[in-house]
Every structure is written in structure tokens, then in C-alpha cells.
Structure 1
Amino acid sequence: MTLSAVTITLAADGPRLAAAPPLPVEALILGKPVTEAADLLPRLFNLCAGAQGLAARLSLGLPPGDGDPAAEIVRDHLARACVTLRAAAGLAPLRLPADPATLFGPAGRLPRDRADFSDWIASPAPAAALAARLVALFPAGAATCPALPPPPADDPLAEGAFENSAAGRQADHPLLRSIEADQGRGPLWRYLGLLADLEAAMEGRLPPATCHNGIAVVPAARGAYALRLTQTAGIVTGLARRTPTDHLLAPGGALLQSLARLPGADGRLAPLVVALHDPCLPVTLREAEPCTR
């Protein structure tokens, strides 16, 4: 099932998620010749199209083409760091830089330890202002999620609550480990994880795309995208896919757990929390109607 949109209700007993009718992806793909299906699948989604196209071609045993997941990830991360996340936090957008490394300031990279981070967050580095804003908005422990496991390597199509995100991919970065130990996996951890993943994409340090037993796993902007397409005589007969958003929105997933830990149940910060988790579908936030009895 491919989710099309969700509504999250912020209630006193915790956030509740309701999903809209799923997208009919299977109906559009099944029965198509393999080359047509591989070309069609990325056109159905305007986010991470390159990753989805590469996964389709790998799963079907077709040549991978000239798509570059790292380039797509860099573009997506830059747009989020310079425009969408800043807008969600009430900051003016930044012009997208020709050299992404300039976001980090003169060093051209994210600080590695807390001492350097303390200097960096007070510096004029373009990416530092949003980090400082998140520190001001969210006290330690606010809007956090406990450490969830990554998707299982032996079953990348598994359903459930997994940490399948850009920050999760970079969880071993020394600065992220320090922030997690001190404040938890909250808004600052997720933002710095995005920056660490941007740096990794720029430097060619992302996990490679793989395909085992017909299941392709491709790095995408929001995490790892898994896809299996089966075929008979060159016609697609089956489709199974698992996206970072599937794991993010699963019961007990990172987004609902983080929304449940908003400081003082402050719904005004909920849109920013959603933006930092970045589900690849429309999310409507609403507050539960107060009980009048």
C-alpha cells in the first residue's frame, strides 16, 4: 500500500494518525512491460524520482542508467536546509549556494565535537542560524524519539517503526552521537543529521545501491528506499515497496513519538516537527475538539 496523505490529530492522550485512501500504484504498474514500468514508476512520484527509477531498474535486472542518487540527495537537502526548514522555523530563506560546502562556513564541513559546535552555532555560517533557532525553541528532551533500529538488512521490505532517515543514516557521526547523548533524537539531532548526510553525499560516502534476491535498496533523500518488482516473460506481475515515510508513519514511528513529546503539548511547534521529519506526502495537522461535557 502506498499512502497518499495523512491527517494527524493532536489530542491530550497523544497524536492520532488517519490515512487517506492509498495511491493505486499497483494498478498502474502491474501488467506493464518491464522497460515501461521502470520508466513509469519514477514519474508517479515527484520526490526521489531518481532513486525510485534506479531501484526499479535494478530490481528488474535492467541497466541502471546514468542516474546519480547522491546528486538528487544533495539537491533535496539543499532545498530543505536553505528554504523549507527555515520557513517552518520562521527564518528567511537562503539563496541556494553554488558550492554546498559554503553552508557550513569557512571550514566547509559540519563540526565534529561539541566544543567546535558551540563556536559554530554562534558563527555566521549560513546553516548555523537554524541550529540556533532549534536550540531556542526546543529544550533538551523535547520532541524526541527513542533510538529506533534501522530497517533490517535481511528484510528491507519489513513493515514497522524503524529509523529510516537521513539522520539515522548518519547516526554514528560524532557530533550526532554527542547531541543524542545530551538531548536525545530531537529536532536539533534531525537537522544536524540532514547536514551530515549532505556532507556525506557531497563526499561520496553514502551507502551504495544494492540488489539481492530481486529486492533493490537505494539511498534516497529521506532514507533508504526498497523495491521488489517481479516479472514473467517481460511483464511486471508483482510490486512491493517500502519507503522511509512508511517507517516514519508506522505505529510507534519517529514522527508520532516526537509529536507526543512536544513541550507543553504546544501544537504551534508541530508543523516544524513534521517538516524536520519530512514525510513525502501531504500532512494535515489538527487539534482534537475539546470535550464539552
Structure 2
Amino acid sequence: MSAALAIVLRPEGPRLEVTVTPPDPLPVAALLLGKPPAEAAALLPRLFNLCGAAQGQAARLALGLAGDAAPARREILRDHLAKLCLIWPRLLGLTPQPLPDHWAEGGQALQDWLWGGAKPADLWPFLTSGQGVAPLLAALGHAFAPGEAVADLPPLTDPMALTAQENSPAGRVADDPLMHAAEARFGRGPFWRALGRVVDLHRIAETAPQAETPRPGLALVAAARGTYALSARTEAGMVTALSRVTPTDHLLAPGGALALSLASLPAAKAGLAALVIDILDPCVAVSVQELAHA
């Protein structure tokens, strides 16, 4: 039994041969079946360290209970800012910085902090401006050339299907003009995905994302890593069926973003694999092993 995502990288000429072994699935349904809906919905977020508010909201909505979007929105703001201020600067050799004041309130002040003023209409002059998150994005633009560590996937159209789909913050805002510009130059690589966090943060600072209930018993909830899908059924006041599909499930699906991104990372840049993985952001512990060429 393994609780960690195991990734093995082996140079094969100019590219990397990638082996991905997902962690063993957690018996989530077995822990919740037979419980009253309110108890199950309260227990689910306690089982996970990450995206607990989003999973709790999804459980409540799927089980026919009232859901509060505020905690999940705050969770997204916090996790996006942790990447932009603390984690990615450290991985890029930049100086981490504190989260902006009053970040949990969102609003115009947070949007202005992101860009150093109004959101730019043109991405490329912004990168050299030194304003907002421009230094971080510029460092990513220098670290990865166009076409490196890219994964071009179909959009998220069937959230409950365990197939390769673009279930990510970047996919959520792929229609934004800045995202189109980034994709045209770099492809859907680390720069595009990191910019997606910024654009997603800008949107969520303004308006909380709306959860969806396409049918009774199915809830789709925005989270920091993408969209959580949860399906549930109750009978006689007890949970009788529950299934969830997470952004990490789509990330690790055969032909998913993790394997494709690492396979298109040049072998000479294997040292950047940790940054690529963190930008993709699986919600499980990760073990990376780099092997020499046989």
C-alpha cells in the first residue's frame, strides 16, 4: 500500500521517460456509507488536509443540504496566494513575500495587488514592468521555453469520468485574452498554468464561483486545483452511495496532464521537475526519483 504518488524520471536522449504510479485510493465511500447526510458531509472534509471546504460544500450539495460558498472561496484565495507568494518564488530562487493584507476579503485591493494596478490588456509589456506578480511570471517565462512541459487536453466536460481532461484553474479561465496570448507563445505549459492561477485569483477576488448541481445527487464545486465532482444517494435517511472525482484524479488519468507535462520536459531540465509538479499541484504526497540512463 502506498499513500504517495511515485514518479520516476529516466533520461532517454533529449527527453524524459516518465513512470507514474498513483497512490492507493482512500476508502472514502466505505467511511461514509450508512451515516446520516449531515454527519457524512461534516466528516468528509476532515478526512483531507487539502481543499476541505470545497469537498465539504460538494458533499452538502450532493446530499441535498444547504451549502455555503464562502469557506471554499476563501480556501481558493489562500491556496492561490500561497503558490504565488511563498512556494513558487522559493522554487524559482526568488524571495518569498507575505500574503497581501486583508487577502481574505478579495475585492479590488487584491486585484490591484496582483497586477500592480489595473489588469493589463497586453501580457508582454506587463512581464517587464516589475509590477505585481510580473517578476514571478517572467522567471517562469525564462525557465521554460515554448513547448516545454506542455499538456494539451480536452476541456472538462464530464467531471465524473476518470479520463484525461483539463481540470485545473488554468482550464477554468482558458477563455481569458491573457491566457490565449500565453498559450499562443508557450503552449499549455508551466507559464500558462501559473498565469491561470493569477487570472483565476483575479476573477474569484471579484465574484465567488458558483457551485453547480446538474442533477439531484451530483455537485460540482470549484476548488484551488480545479473542480471537485461528487455524486451521492440517500435512502431512509442514510447515505447509500457516494463517489467523488477530484482534479488529481484527472491529473493522474492515463494520458493526463502530469505524464504529458513531464514527458515534454527536456532531460537537461529534469531539475525543474519539482516545479512542474508543484504547478500541476496533485493533492497527494509526491516521491520523485531521477534515474541515470541505463
| TM-score in terms of structure 2 length | 0.90
Structure 2 contact 63–232 (Cα < 8 Å) conserved = yes
Q: Take 1:215 and 1:20, find their aligned partners in 2: how far apart are those partners?
A: 25
Superposed CA offset, 1:251-282 (max 9, x none): 11111101111124521010000011111111
Structure 1 contact 38–53 (Cα < 8 Å) conserved = yes
Aligned twin of 1:112: 121
Say which of 166, 173, 178 aligns to 1:163.
Answer: 166
Q: Is 1:18 the equivalent of 2:25? A: no
1:67 positional shift:
3.9
1:128 positional shift:
1.1
SS of the residue corresponding to residue 113 of structure 2 reads: helix
1:90 positional shift:
1.9
Superposed CA offset, 1:182-205 (max 9, x none): 220011101111000000101116
Q: Take 1:103 and 1:112, find their aligned partners in 2: how far apart are those partners?
A: 16
Gaps of 5+ in 1: none
Structure 2 contact 9–291 (Cα < 8 Å) conserved = yes
Alignment of 1:68-83 (within 5 A): 68-83=71-86
Say which of 178, 181, 191 aligns to 1:178.
Answer: 181
Alignment of 1:282-293 (within 5 A): 282-288=285-291, 290-291=293-294
Distance 1:25 1:205, change over 3 A: closer
Number of residue pairs the alignment of both structures matches: 282
Aligned twin of 1:100: 110
Seq. identity, %:
47
Q: Which one-letter code corresponds to 1:112 in the other structure?
A: A
Structure 1 contact 138–263 (Cα < 8 Å) conserved = no
Distance 1:240 1:149, change over 3 A: same
Say which of 237, 240, 255 aligns to 1:237.
Answer: 240
Say which of 132, 151, 154 aligns to 1:149.
Answer: 154
> More displaced, 122-131 or 33-42?
122-131
SS of the residue corresponding to residue 78 of structure 2 reads: helix
1:211 positional shift:
4.5
SS of the residue corresponding to residue 217 of structure 1 reads: strand
1:66 positional shift:
6.1
| TM-score in terms of structure 1 length | 0.90
Say which of 133, 143, 152 aligns to 1:127.
Answer: 133
1:82 positional shift:
0.6
Q: Take 1:135 and 1:88, find their aligned partners in 2: how far apart are those partners?
A: 14
Gaps of 5+ in 2: 102-108
Distance 1:65 1:126, change over 3 A: closer
SS of the residue corresponding to residue 71 of structure 1 reads: helix
1:108 positional shift:
3.9
SS of the residue corresponding to residue 140 of structure 1 reads: coil
1:27 positional shift:
2.2
The alignment yields a C-alpha RMSD, in angstroms, of 1.8
Q: Which one-letter code corresponds to 1:176 in the other structure?
A: M
> More displaced, 61-70 or 38-47?
61-70
SS of the residue corresponding to residue 216 of structure 1 reads: strand
1:136 positional shift:
1.2
Structure 2 contact 252–258 (Cα < 8 Å) conserved = yes
SS of the residue corresponding to residue 161 of structure 2 reads: coil
SS of the residue corresponding to residue 227 of structure 2 reads: strand
